[in-house]
Every structure is written in C-alpha cells, then in structure tokens.
Amino acid sequence: MLLTKKIQQYICFSESSLIDVLKKINENKARVIFVVSEHGKLLGSISDGDIRRWLTETKELDLNVLAKAVMNSNVQKLYVGVDETVVDKLFHAGIDCVPLVDEGEHLIQLAFQKKSGFFVKNREISESSPSFIIAEIGNNHQGDINLAKELVDHAVAADVDCVKFQMRNMKNLYKDSGKNDISADLGAQYTLDLLSKFQLSNDELIEVFDYAKFKGVLPLCTPWDIESLKTLENYGMAAYKVASADFTNFELLEAITNTGKPFFCSTGMSSEAEIKETVAFLRGLGANFVLLHCNSTYPTPFKDVNLKYITRLKEITGALVGYSGHERGICVPIASIALGATVIEKHLTIDTSLEGTDHKVSLLPSELKEMVKQIRQVEEGLGSDEKPREITQGELLNRENLAKSLVAVRDVNLGEIITRDMVEIKSPGQGLQPNRLNDLIGKKADRNIPRGGFFYMSDIIGRIKKRDYQFNRPFGVPVRYHDFRQILEGTNLDFVEFHLSYNDMKVDLKDHFSGVENIGFAVHSPELFANDHILDLCSDDPEYLAKSKVLLQEVVDITRNLNQFFPDTKDPVIVVNAGGWNPNGFIDEKLKAGKYQLISDALNSLDLEGVTIAIQTMPPFPWHFGGQSYHNLFVCADEIVEFCKKNPKIKICLDISHSMMSCNYYGWDLIKFVEKVAQYNVHLHIVDAKGIDGEGIEIGKGDVNFPALMTLLDKENKEVQFIPEVWQGHKNGGEGFWAALEFLESINSK
C-alpha cells in the first residue's frame, strides 16, 4: 500500500468538464478521479464504471457536461490516520484507491493498493517520488557536539532530506562492556578505540536532533541495540536506519518493526540467500522498509560496487530499493538513480583526513551539495517509459531552424500536378518534412507556390481558407510588417497585433504604411533585443536594467508613431514580458516583492503617454533564445492582482497558454485564475497548452477547457480584444490562425 499526498493528478473540480476528467483518468492510469470543491472538500468520485453508466443513461451525449453531474457522491472514504488494517478491508472489497479526508472532509491523502511506498513525516518515499537523500554524519562529529551541529548546517545547505546519526549502548552492545581487549584482532581494537573516543552521549545526540529540526531537516538515527532503540522511541524518532551489520539481526529488526515506523536496511556483508531470508522475515511482520544496496568496504573499489545489482535486488525481493555508498566521489550514487534507487545515503565530513574509516569515504560539503544537485537533474531527465516519445517544445524550436523541408524548385501554378522534379529538400525545417515527399507527389496545387516556397501539409490534405468570422468581441491575429497586407486580405479582422523583432525596431514605417489604415492595432514588444538582450525590468544589474528601460521606451515611441497610421485605436496596447526570469532556478519567495517594485519603478520612469502597457501573464518555464528558464513574476493570479492594485495604469495581457501551464505546474484551476485577473485584462492571447511547457499548440489539442473558458470570458471580459497566438500560425498565409478562429467560432456559437 502507498499513502500519498501528491493528489493533484487524481482530482478535478466539480465544475470541470467530462473531457478534462477523461484526460486525467487517461494520464494518471488509476482509472478514477476524485471530485472536490474549490476549497478541496471531497464531493465524489468518477471511475470508468461511472462514465459507462452515464453514457448509457444520458439522453444527449455532451462531453462538456460538468463533473458533478457524472460523479458518484457515495464515494467510500476514510479519515486521515486510520489504522492500515481498516484500509486493507476496503482493498479486499475490490477498491484499488481509498481517499483519506480530514475532519472538515477535505481530501488530504490517497491510499493505493497496488503501489508500494510510505511516508516519513511529510516526505513520500516511493518509485514515483524524488529520491530520499540521507547525509550520514554517523560519528564523523568526532565526539564534538559543535562539529555535529556544523555538519547539520552543511547538510541543510546541500538540501538533503535527512541527517543521520548512530546511537550505541556500549555496555550492552559489546562483550566485556566494550572494553578494548588487547588480545582482540587489530580491526576490532581499532573500531572499539574509535567508538570510545568519538561517541556523543544520548543527551547530546538528542540536542543535535532538535537542532536539525530547528534547521528544517529531518533527523534519523541508527540504533545499534535495543536499549538505544528504546531511547530513540522515547524521543519520537520518525524512522530508522538498520546498519549492514544488523541486517541478519532478526531480534533488532522485529523490535524496530514493532515501533510501526518505516526503516532503511543496508544489505552490505550479506549474501543473496540472507537478503531473501531477511526480506521474507520482514514481510511476515508487515514492515515498511527500503533495501539499500551496499558494499561495506571502506572505501569500496569501483570494481566491487556492482551497481547493476540494484535491478536484481528489486526483482528478487519486490521491495523498494536504494543505494548506500562507501566509494569515493559522487558518480556512483548519481548513476544509481537511473537504476531506480529511491533512497541515497552518503557520508559527510569536513575533512577526509580526520581519524576514522568513515572520513575516507565521506563527501566534503561542496561535494554533497553537487551530488544532490546532479541527482535532482538526473531525476528530472529520466522522464517516463510509459508514454510514447513526443517532440518537446525545445525540439520544435530547433526543428524549425535545423531540420529540412520540401521546397519548390520553380514556380508552381494553381492547378498544376506536383511532380518530383518540382521539389527539392532544403533547410530550414519550416515546411513539410521530407518523409512526406511521396504523399506530396501527384497532388494538384490549390495555390500558387513561388520558387523557393515551402510546401505544407495543406498541400496534401487541403487548405483551411480564411474568411469572415463572427465574434462578440474585437478579434485579430499576429502579423509582421512584411505580411500585414497578405494576412489582412480576404477577412474581417478588427485589429492586428504587430509582433516586433529587434530588426523591426530599425524599420522606417513609411516603407510599409503611407496613409490611414482602417483597422485597429496592438504591439507585442520584442522579448529578445539585439545583442542577446532579453527584456528584464527587474534585473539586479543596474546597467542591464537601464538598457531594458531604454529599449522599452523605444518600443513605446514606435507604437506612438504607428498610431499615426492607425488612428482608430486609442491608447494602443503594448504587450510586454516585463521580466523576472532566471536561468538557474526559482528565486526565494521573499525576493518577489522587491522584484515587483523594480518593475513598478521602471514603468513609472518611462513616458507612457498615449499607450497602454499590458504585462503578459507568464508560464513557469518560458523558452528564450538560449534555452528554457524559470519565471518568477506574473505567474500567480494573486500576485498579479496585488501588482495591478498598486499600479492602476498598468494592465494585463492574459495569455491562456502561459497561464494554463502555470496552473498545470502549481495545481491551480485555470477558470479560478482567470476570474481573479479578469478585471485587469485589456488584451487576450487565446491559445492552448499542454503540460507545463507545451506552449502555443493547436487549439483543442491541449489542456484548456475552451467551452468553460469562453463562457467565463463572455461574462467577465466581453469587450476585451483577442488574438489566437498559435505557435508558427503565420505559416502558409496564416493557416494556423484561421484554423484557431474556426475552432473558437464554433465554441462561441454554442
């Protein structure tokens, strides 16, 4: 059984559509979704069977029906903290997943029958959770409580999950009360000598445990004897570690199991037969444990690590597995993650030359920090072996630039049959992929294709032709100066949004416009300016910040000049990505207020007369030229509202794709997000998204519930203008935009 608080992928709101429910059921592979209120109260469940029941009973098939209309409100539930035997009874009754609620009926945890794992405090340990990283301090404190606390500080700085110590009752543990027998073997003499010198008293250890908790890291301990276990139980230790030396000590293992706490077992110095025997013993006791593959040589030669045994250890035991390492360096524990290690343990010291065998195999603080960092990167990079490969957003960007396309060798006239000698394969990859060559040959051209022009999928399956559209709000599409008239021709757009590149900043507008244009306009400020400058109005670098302000002022001036040619638009909107990105990670929450203030100060320092700044809502992981980064500002609806209240002249461009990705990442509801920011929206980018960084995909192919969204926008932002900002929608005469407008028009007409 697995108890987990990671419930986001298993829940939906009562106002979610059945389409969204089906998507989640398909993705979470649990065959069930739990329906909650906006405050997280459990209202019901929807299983495959509930959906089949609804399909057979409904008179009108509408997949946009709300979850609350389909759910089973008599869902079986238990309260958090209930004895596991009570949960097991429901499992035996045929239920695979049991919701656990608090006294207020809020859904807190889920119990899964067919998954393994457990919690140590609030930290889930399972195959689907990040690995649990233990900094083993052991006796590397040299019997000095101050050094022990210093090592805790280093472990906290490395961002480990746990600091671990050891407790022994020397009198009970060793024969002759732990006295160093001069007739004993050298190894035993050396070990007893170290222990006699470098032990902390139980009271000192407890003081260090409390210090670790104060510093925000979980303390654990290895009890080497039952008397020490009793002391740790009286303290309230959350979990335990069993040393390799005690892996076959059934008396101690049973005593630890009887505490009801989970524990980690190192398997060093044990044969496979002994491992199987111990696992069978623990299974019989109903223990929650993880097996740590381990070689108890100090240090372990790399030839003896046998890391692939992790795979076999899992196969022969069916248990969760991890790795406890005594080799030098950090490469082996990092590699163990790829083999399925759910727990990593490595020793920590401040000086590898100190007396004692553990120091020789220990990591220095900087090494531990680097190990944790690389483990988290590997975990993120592992992905999933349960889904087909998809082209990532970054690959799509590079495919546009690096791949090849089918290109016209000569002018191809409307009505001509396309033959092989008309087509060549050239870079970049902005047109039809070369593998569609045979599908293209023999088709009749339904458009004039210039020499060097790309062929598109529409040349095979037929084009979506632009026309007049009907919306109850102003609508437009993105354009560039060079394709403005081509895009505009043959349709009834209310306005266009000029997406400026840094080269467009140098353009003489009279080269493109000579008189009054009878259409509205908006401007999208460049995100990337010349010399790789990404706009950032809250940069900590004064020179970079000053340059960003100068560049945005230039955009404002260009917009005012454009307004001479588009006089129908009063105070034209300028869509701005104001800044707040970081290439290395999310910033400390405490720094956000200062960053927002920098943006406020920067905008107040500019001449914004005659324009409306609309700061775009942002995703958590935006793509810039140069790669993906982390975004910190204008991601959260509550923060956006607070900023706009303090800066009433600054408005918002609600980018649905960006905000959908934020909601996916943080577990927010998009409809609630839009409701919060609606009063500040003056411009809308309506487009779909998938996951946490699948941006601007074809509308209807992603995660956005468009019927619910458009209903809300009609209520809250009825007069606000919008564009469908589909990625690469401008190709083939704006084909992606026309497809998006057709889709949205069909939603709008329902």
CATH code of the domain in which 184 resides = 3.20.20.70
Cβ distance 623 to 670 under 8 Å?
no
- Is 387 within the bounds of a domain? no
What average pLDDT does range 7-20 have in this prediction?
86
The helix/strand/coil state of 140 is: coil
Cβ distance 458 to 464 under 8 Å?
yes
Shortest CA distance to 310 belongs to which of 327, 290, 326? 290
Q: How far apart are CA 210 and CA 231, in angstroms?
A: 15
Q: How far apart are CA 231 and CA 729, in angstroms?
A: 67
Give the per-residue pLDDT at 5.
74
What average pLDDT does range 196-200 have in this prediction?
72
Comparing 212-216, 392-396, 454-458, the range with the smallest average pLDDT is 392-396
Give the per-residue pLDDT at 176.
55
Shortest CA distance to 313 belongs to which of 266, 275, 265? 275
The domain containing residue 514 runs over which residues? 476-748
- Pairing status of strand 289-294 against strand 320-324: parallel
Tens digit of each residue's pLDDT (9 = 90 or more) over 112-155: 876 678 888 878 898 888 999 999 998 888 889 999 999 999 99
Mean pLDDT of the chain: 90
Shortest CA distance to 460 belongs to which of 409, 411, 410, 423? 423
Q: How far apart are CA 504 and CA 482, in angstroms?
A: 10
CATH of the domain at 446: 3.90.1210.10
Tens digit of each residue's pLDDT (9 = 90 or more) over 563-618: 999 999 999 999 999 999 988 889 999 999 999 999 999 999 999 999 999 999 99
- Is 123 within the bounds of a domain? no
Last residue of a domain, one of 382, 410, 441: 382
Do 172 and 305 fall into the same domain? yes
Q: How far apart are CA 339 and CA 333, in angstroms?
A: 10
Q: How many beta carbons lie within 10 A of that of residue 31, not counting itself?
A: 13
- Does 187 have pLDDT greater than 80? no
Cβ distance 344 to 132 under 8 Å?
yes
Do 359 and 432 fall into the same domain? no
Do 189 and 219 fall into the same domain? yes
CA distances (Å), 393 to each of 176, 190, 270, 490, 577, in order?
67, 58, 47, 32, 19
- Is 467 within the bounds of a domain? no
Two tokens at 156? 């906290």
Give the per-residue pLDDT at 82.
81
Element (H, E) at 688: strand 688-690
Residue count (the chain): 750
Cβ distance 18 to 67 under 8 Å?
yes
Cβ distance 289 to 262 under 8 Å?
yes
Give the per-residue pLDDT at 196.
59
Give the per-residue pLDDT at 194.
57
Last residue of a domain, one of 382, 408, 434: 382
Q: What is the 3-state secondary structure (H, E, C) of 629-686?
A: CEECCCCCHHHHHHHHHHCCCCEEEEEHHHHHHHHHHHCCCHHHHHHHHHHHEEEEEC
Last residue of a domain, one of 84, 115, 146: 115
Q: How far apart are CA 486 and CA 479, in angstroms?
A: 10
CATH of the domain at 705: 3.20.20.150
Q: How far apart are CA 670 and CA 684, in angstroms?
A: 14
Q: What is the CA radius of gyration of the chain?
A: 32
What's the number of CA atoms in the CB half-sphere (13 Å) around residue 129? 27
Q: Can you list the alpha helix ranges (DSSP code H) found in 540-591?
A: 542-562
Return the ∠ at Cα 556 (arms to 555 and 559), rounded to 5°: 85
Q: What is the 3-state secondary structure (H, E, C) of 490-547?
A: CCCCCEEEEECCCCHHHCCHHHCCCCCCCCEEEEECCCEEHHHEECCCCCCCHHHHHH
Do 26 and 140 fall into the same domain? no
Do 296 and 420 fall into the same domain? no
Do 539 and 681 fall into the same domain? yes
Cβ distance 152 to 141 under 8 Å?
no
- Quick one: pLDDT band at residue 264, thresholds 50, 70, 90? very high
- Quick one: pLDDT band at residue 85, thresholds 50, 70, 90? confident
| Distinct helix (H) and strand (E) counts, the chain | 27, 35
Q: How far apart are CA 105 and CA 297, in angstroms?
A: 52
Give the per-residue pLDDT at 480.
93
Cβ distance 627 to 394 under 8 Å?
yes
Cβ distance 624 to 528 under 8 Å?
yes
- Is 67 within the bounds of a domain? yes
Residue appearing with tokens 């577990």: 667
Do 536 and 662 fall into the same domain? yes
Return the ∠ at Cα 285 (arms to 281 and 287), rounded to 5°: 100
Residue appearing with tokens 């958590």: 620
- Kindly state the percentage of the chain with pLDDT values over 70: 95
Give the per-residue pLDDT at 626.
60
- Is 471 within the bounds of a domain? no
Do 604 and 728 fall into the same domain? yes
Give the per-residue pLDDT at 557.
97
Comparing 134-148, 313-327, 690-704, the range with the smallest average pLDDT is 690-704
CA distances (Å), 184 to each of 169, 257, 269, 313, 734, in order?
20, 34, 21, 35, 86
CA distances (Å), 437 to each of 121, 299, 317, 405, in order?
58, 60, 52, 10
Comparing 250-264, 438-452, 486-500, 614-628, the range with the smallest average pLDDT is 614-628
Residue 253 burial (10 A CB sphere; 0-12, 13-18, 19+):
buried
Element (H, E) at 56: helix 48-57
Residue appearing with tokens 């999933």: 384
Two tokens at 631? 């975004």
What average pLDDT does range 496-506 have in this prediction?
93
Do 427 and 315 fall into the same domain? no
Give the per-residue pLDDT at 61.
78
Q: Can you list the alpha helix ranges (DSSP code H) found in 383-432?
A: 393-402
DSSP 8-class letter at 703 = S
- Kindly state the percentage of the chain with pLDDT values over 90: 66
- Is 222 within the bounds of a domain? yes
Do 631 and 720 fall into the same domain? yes
- Does 180 have pLDDT greater than 70? no
Do 365 and 501 fall into the same domain? no
Two tokens at 109? 């945890």
What secondary structure does DSSP assign to 60-78, as a single string? S--TTSBHHHH-BSS---E
What average pLDDT does range 519-533 have in this prediction?
92
Query: What amino acid occupies position 743?
Result: F
The helix/strand/coil state of 146 is: helix
pTM: 0.71
> When comparing pLDDT for 379 and 188, which is higher?
379
- Residues whose CB is less than 8 angstroms from the CB of residue 180 and which lie 6 or more positions away in sequence, other chains included: 189, 192, 193, 196
- Does 185 have pLDDT greater than 50? no
What average pLDDT does range 525-543 have in this prediction?
92
Percentages of the chain per state (helix, strand, coil), in multiples of 5: 40, 20, 40
CATH of the domain at 60: 3.10.580.10
- Is 120 within the bounds of a domain? no
- Total domains present in the chain: 4
- Is 603 within the bounds of a domain? yes
Do 661 and 512 fall into the same domain? yes
- Maximum Cα–Cα distance for the chain, whole Å? 106
Residue appearing with tokens 């790829």: 338
First to last CA, the chain: 46
Comparing 186-195, 620-629, 716-725, the range with the smallest average pLDDT is 186-195
